[in-house]
């Protein structure tokens, strides 16, 4: 029997258990809910913790920085998997990818754990009105049970609105491409629904246009109007706003590109593949940018590099996109203050995973490296004593669910696999978790160069990142990685096999195995 089948059968028993214990019966009385805080839940796609409030001077994020001055900024927060669907599904359910059996971009957690109760569902059961706009779950896997009303939409935008172009040359290119596809027999409706996969023009553009010419600006118009509506409801609200930038393509109005001198943007400090890293550690698929016509010949990171001009263009586009989204977030914060909602609203801002901008010779996510696993997380609970400070304790995305419950005064459902960090909001320096866990399944289109599927499970401690790779079919250990973050914070050398490291590897191997067998891993308490 294959290892994956063994783990599947074990998972079925666990999932049946989780399905039962994660159900939360009943709702609280309306008068009890009225006094609870609102929640503004802001998701940003592919946002890495390269922001002013994280100490990056080369990027301009005044509005996110403003939020951070009134919140706790977690400097060592980690996602559970560096890919959109598994990361978001894990965060929204408080369950790890192995429990959900969601490791790819196409599995709906409702098919694997149908009884899971998401964060907004739990809040709804306690008297909240929950609504959303933009990308909260993965694009093509929405979750209607999570919302009190149908998720907000904007007319005139395609199913997947991140790959929208406004530059005349790119628009013309797209029209020609559509004509070619139709001539080849592709149906118009399929192009319209899945246009992102058929129609990728340039990887960047910078037209002189208004913010709401792109989806993120247009949805902020709607979100601001929605906040005014939500203010007048009797029940508290849970409002999720999900931004698409800075996901590729790096398209944003020209004024945000003009904030930066391309020649002065610092390039990656670790542009080489880690020495001694096993092949499955590196995402060797032709990078996401190879989907765009102007980067169609981009090499695999193990076979070549982009030119400096290409690298500067992409990083310029990423920075401009971050500043564009930052401006939209500022509009949300302004609306909260203008509507007198600020003092009674919990605000959570998170990016679903990191993103490589030339680090490890890559322009993608989908690895277990620190640059992919570490994420921005800013949490504002009204009245928290540590608001305005940074917290360097290890936290994970599965911790957000119980933490929101604690901050809002709701019971924490049984069966969640995270640890609520509300105590850190009042005392950041107290002892906390000893490890955070990230994983990645290298299979399908992400399969390793040898054609074998591998699961990589990663343990991040104060001192080390340890990764162990397993053959997904047999369960046999295949490779190990060890990065010493005190000596090598950029993870340039895998020291797992170096002389004298075996005792450290054995101990971390034990911690990893111990942590992966419990709902809340022993190594986290």
Q: Which two tokens stand for residue 275?
A: 């020495």
Q: Is 138 a catalytic residue?
A: yes
Question: Among 79, 84, 364, 405, which one carries the catalytic annotation?
Answer: 84
Strand partners, 44: 243, 351
Q: Which two tokens stand for residue 365?
A: 């996510």
For 227-245, b where at least 16 C-beta lie within 10 A, e where not — what string? Answer: beebeeeebbbbbbbbbbb
| 456 touches 462 (CB < 8 A) | no
Question: Among 122, 126, 138, 353, which one carries the catalytic annotation?
Answer: 138
The dihedral over CA atoms of 440, 444, 446, 451, expressed in degrees to the nearest 10, equals: 110
Q: How far, in whole angstroms, is CA 92 from its chain's centroid?
A: 11
| 284 touches 449 (CB < 8 A) | yes
166-170: long-range contacts (C-beta < 8 A, 24 or more apart)? 166/205, 166/207, 166/209, 166/213, 166/214, 166/251, 167/202, 167/205, 167/206, 167/207, 170/201, 170/202, 170/205
374-to-51, 86, 215, 346, 394 alpha-carbon distances in Å: 13, 15, 26, 23, 10
Direct distance between the N- and C-terminal alpha carbons of the chain, in angstroms, rounded to an integer: 34
- Give me the residue label for tokens 């305005």: 388
The C-alpha atoms of residue 190 and residue 157 are separated, in whole angstroms, by 15
In this structure, are strands 477-484 and 464-471 parallel, antiparallel, or unpaired? Answer: antiparallel
| 37 touches 407 (CB < 8 A) | yes
The C-alpha atoms of residue 398 and residue 79 are separated, in whole angstroms, by 8
Q: Show which residues are catalytic.
A: 84, 138
């Amino acid at each position: 029997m294959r290892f994956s089948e063994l783990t599947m059968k074990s998972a079925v028993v666990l999932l049946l258990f989780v399905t039962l214990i994660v159900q939360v019966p009943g709702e609280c009385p309306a008068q009890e809910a009225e006094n609870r805080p609102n929640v503004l839940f802001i998701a940003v796609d592919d946002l890495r913790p390269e922001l002013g409030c994280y100490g990056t001077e080369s990027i301009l994020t005044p509005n996110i920085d403003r939020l951070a001055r009134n919140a706790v900024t977690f400097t060592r927060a980690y996602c559970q998997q560096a890919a959109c669907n598994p990361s978001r599904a894990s965060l929204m359910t408080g369950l790890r990818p192995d429990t959900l059996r969601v490791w790819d971009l196409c599995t709906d957690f409702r098919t694997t754990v149908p009884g899971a109760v998401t964060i907004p569902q739990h809040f709804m059961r306690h008297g909240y009105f929950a609504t959303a706009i933009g990308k909260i779950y993965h694009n093509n896997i929405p979750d209607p049970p999570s919302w009190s009303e149908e998720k907000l939409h904007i007319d005139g935008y395609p199913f997947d609105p991140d790959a929208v172009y406004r530059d005349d040359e790119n628009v013309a290119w797209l029209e020609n491409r559509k004509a070619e596809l139709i001539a080849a027999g592709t149906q118009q409706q399929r192009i319209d629904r899945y246009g992102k996969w058929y129609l990728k023009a340039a990887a960047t553009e910078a037209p002189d246009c208004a913010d709401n010419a792109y989806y993120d600006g247009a949805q902020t118009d709607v979100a601001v109007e929605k906040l005014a509506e939500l203010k007048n409801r009797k029940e508290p609200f849970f409002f999720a706003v999900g931004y698409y930038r800075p996901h590729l393509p790096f398209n944003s109005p020209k004024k945000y590109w003009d904030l930066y001198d391309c020649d002065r943007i610092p390039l990656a400090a670790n542009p080489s593949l880690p020495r001694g890293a096993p092949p499955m550690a590196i995402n060797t698929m032709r990078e996401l940018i190879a989907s765009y016509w102007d980067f169609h010949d981009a090499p695999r990171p193990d076979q070549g590099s982009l030119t400096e001009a290409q690298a500067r263009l992409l990083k310029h586009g990423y920075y401009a996109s971050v500043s564009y989204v930052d401006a939209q977030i500022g509009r949300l914060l302004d609306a909260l203050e203008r509507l007198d909602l600020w003092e009674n609203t919990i605000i959570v801002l998170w990016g679903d995973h990191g993103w490589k901008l030339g680090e490890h010779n890559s322009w993608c996510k989908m690895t277990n490296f620190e640059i992919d696993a570490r994420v921005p997380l800013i949490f504002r609970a009204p009245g928290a004593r540590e608001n305005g400070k940074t917290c360097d304790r290890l936290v994970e995305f599965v911790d957000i669910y119980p933490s929101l419950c604690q901050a809002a005064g709701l019971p924490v459902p049984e069966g969640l696999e995270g640890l609520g960090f509300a105590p850190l909001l009042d005392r950041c320096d107290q002892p906390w978790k000893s490890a955070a866990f990230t994983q990645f399944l290298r299979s399908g289109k992400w399969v390793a160069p040898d054609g074998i599927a591998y699961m990589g499970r990663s343990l991040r401690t104060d001192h080390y990142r340890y990764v162990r790779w397993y053959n997904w079919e047999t369960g046999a250990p295949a490779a190990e990685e060890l990065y010493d973050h005190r000596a090598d914070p950029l993870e340039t050398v895998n020291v797992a096999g170096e002389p004298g490291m075996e005792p450290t590897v054995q101990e971390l191997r034990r911690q990893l195995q111990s942590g992966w067998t419990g709902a809340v891993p022993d190594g986290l308490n």
